[in-house]
Amino acid sequence: MSILRPLAPCLLALTLAAPSLAIDYHVGPGQALESIGDAPWATLQPGDQVLVHWRTEPYREKWVINRRGTPQAWITLRGLPGPQGQRPIIDGANAETATGLNFWNEERGVIKVGGSNTPPDDLPAYILIEGLEIRSGRPPFTFTNDGGGTSTYVQNAASIYIEKAEHLIIRDCVLHDSGNGIFSGDFDGQTQDLLIEGNHLFGNGNIGSVFHHNAYTAAIGIVYQFNRFGALRDGADGNNLKDRSAGLVVRYNWIEDGNRQLDLVDGTTAVATHPAYDETFVYGNVLIESDGQGNSQIVHYGGDGGDTGLYRKGMLHAYHNTVVSTRSGNTTLLRLSTQDESADVRNNVLYTTASGNRLAMLDATGDLTLRHNWTKPGWRDSHSGLTGTIHDDGSGVEGSDPGFVDEASQNFRPDTGAPLIDAGTTLHAAALDHPVLHQYVRHLLGEERPNDATLDIGAYEFCDATCADVFSDSFETGDTSAWSSAGATR
């Protein structure tokens, strides 16, 4: 069985097709450049790479990326690891803005993408950021701004703040101790085609605030895959992944705790009028709700801005996820904001350690279809009074134990003889362009999902020693075809 770290094919194109004039700028101990700010951020060309070498001390620097690569020659910011695989650390606390740059909203992030006077403002594109630990973009931390004065981060600052960008990959980064781990605005629909892959996001948010999250994004065309989302900062009340995008795909992630694991709500007019806004795909994820963690709802779909005309209105496709709640009280799978939101939920493990009647499918409103999910018996339509509609064809599998390999160690793969095996059904017609091809490997790894022609329920397909040959020797994730299939423009 082949288990590899996610690798984007577009990076392969970058490696093979970068023009001969592209320059690698090496930063760090014993390198040509001592500081990250010594790299020519204002004049980077397609194919250029800024390669930051690990050192024992963090780099206390901040800067903007606002240049354009090409499909064949991406501009790359890459951390090169230390002897034990340590990522270079970019620390926003007491950081200094790189000289020669002039950009607004410095207080919004440690690394900013888009929005500057120097370099001249543009729509940055074909940018890859990977292999870094980026932290401490939040109050009360301060930094030296591009004018030489001292500024304080605002509460909604982020480790990576994307004002605008297209064709942007953030991969294999650790993002923590900021107001938001990642923040992106849609910028009137100009922010498009984002891939968030193989990152560890945890410990973000502000104490007592519901407005800041491990990830908070808006774009046209965005894929989250193979990420590990951990708990937010102690005392922070934000969600784990909050999104306001069109063409959203959330697949093969490990998402643990937060006020809600997923908060998928309304976007701006530019986003809400895009054809891809009508359908959202959430599949192959492990969603964990610990006892006493925030809201009892796992997923919210629809809107929260008050203008219901901008709410998602379409369909949430949630399939082949494994949901595990250890709450001693109630758990609610879905909140659909209005009667106009709908969800097709099939082939999921919906497991509560509490009795079955502690699980409700809907908060109240919306239209829900259930097919071939595993639950404990006795689940409820709603804990607060159902006003929506639930269509259940009776195909669900019920039992006291889903048959995980080792629940205590969070090995949620089906064990031999588990009732999840061969108990799934075909996908909704609209989801056929989003088949479940991979599965998450703890942690921040992935593997191909075995294909034995009969689907199992949950995020994992059963595999014994005889099925190892279904795994290929190469593991290609980050396939940018996902962007176009999600409805994003190219």
For position 21, what pLDDT does the model report?
A: 85
Query: Which neighbouring-strand residues pair with 91?
Result: 135
Establish if 204 belongs to a structural domain: no
304 close to 341: Cβ distance less than 8 angstroms? no
CA–CA dist 147, 349 (Å, integer): 54
**137 and 268 share one domain:** no
The tokens describing 452, both together, are 């034995």
CA–CA dist 77, 37 (Å, integer): 12
CA–CA dist 305, 415 (Å, integer): 43
What is the dihedral angle through the alpha carbons of 328, 329, 332, 333, rounded to the nearest 10 degrees? 10
CA–CA dist 28, 237 (Å, integer): 37
- Look up residue 98 and give its DSSP letter: P
SS3 225: strand
Establish if 80 belongs to a structural domain: yes
- Ramachandran quadrant class, 25 (left: phi over 0; alpha: psi -120 to 50; beta: rest): beta
Q: Decide: residue 235, CB within 10 A, 0-12 exposed, 13-18 middle, 19+ buried.
A: exposed
CA–CA dist 23, 18 (Å, integer): 10
**371 and 488 share one domain:** yes
- 122 CB neighbour count, 10 Å cutoff: 13
- Backbone phi, psi, residue 10, to 5°: -65, -25
pLDDT tens digits in sequence order for the chain, 490 residues long:
344 444 343 333 334 445 568 999 999 999 999 999 999 999 999 999 999 999 999 999 999 999 999 999 999 999 999 999 999 999 999 999 999 999 999 999 999 999 999 999 999 999 999 999 999 999 999 999 999 999 999 999 999 999 999 999 999 999 999 999 999 999 999 999 999 999 999 999 999 999 999 999 999 999 999 999 999 999 999 999 999 999 999 999 999 999 999 999 999 999 999 999 999 999 999 999 999 888 999 999 999 999 999 999 999 999 999 999 999 999 999 999 999 999 999 999 999 999 999 999 999 999 999 999 999 999 999 999 999 999 999 999 999 999 999 999 999 999 999 999 999 999 999 999 999 999 999 999 999 999 888 999 999 999 876 554 433 333 344 444 333 333 333 2
Establish if 314 belongs to a structural domain: yes
- 11 CB neighbour count, 10 Å cutoff: 17
**178 and 298 share one domain:** no
Alpha carbon 245 to its chain centroid, in Å, reads 12
- Look up residue 121 and give its DSSP letter: P
For position 485, what pLDDT does the model report?
A: 33
**452 and 308 share one domain:** yes
CA–CA dist 358, 342 (Å, integer): 22
**266 and 413 share one domain:** yes
Measured at the alpha carbon of residue 332, what is the angle toward residues 327 and 335, in degrees to the nearest 5? Answer: 145
**161 and 285 share one domain:** no
Establish if 345 belongs to a structural domain: yes
- Look up residue 397 and give its DSSP letter: E
483 close to 247: Cβ distance less than 8 angstroms? yes
Tracing tokens 């910011």 back to the chain, one arrives at 77
Alpha carbon 383 to its chain centroid, in Å, reads 29
In the listed set 139, 166, 184, which residue is the last one of a domain according to the structure? 184
In the listed set 184, 202, 225, which residue is the last one of a domain according to the structure? 184
Domain span including residue 371: 261-490
Establish if 331 belongs to a structural domain: yes
Tracing tokens 């995980």 back to the chain, one arrives at 404
Establish if 145 belongs to a structural domain: yes
Q: What are the angstrom distances between the C-alpha of 462 and each of 369, 424, 439, 459?
A: 25, 12, 11, 10
Establish if 247 belongs to a structural domain: no
For position 20, what pLDDT does the model report?
A: 60
314 close to 431: Cβ distance less than 8 angstroms? no
**366 and 474 share one domain:** yes
Domain count across the chain: 2
CA–CA dist 380, 391 (Å, integer): 13
20 close to 488: Cβ distance less than 8 angstroms? no
In the listed set 157, 184, 211, which residue is the last one of a domain according to the structure? 184
For position 453, what pLDDT does the model report?
A: 84
For position 465, what pLDDT does the model report?
A: 61
SS3 318: strand
- 162 CB neighbour count, 10 Å cutoff: 30
329 close to 358: Cβ distance less than 8 angstroms? yes
Query: Which neighbouring-strand residues pair with 75?
Result: 127
Name the pairing type of β-strands 404-406 and 411-414: antiparallel
Whether residue 46 has a cis bond before it, omega within 30° of 0: no
452 close to 301: Cβ distance less than 8 angstroms? no
CA–CA dist 452, 462 (Å, integer): 9
The DSSP line for 41-96 is TTT--TT-EEEEE--SSPB-EEEEE--B-BTTB-EEEEEEP-TT-PPPEEE-TTEE
For position 315, what pLDDT does the model report?
A: 97
Establish if 211 belongs to a structural domain: no
Q: What is the pTM of this model?
A: 0.93
**304 and 442 share one domain:** yes
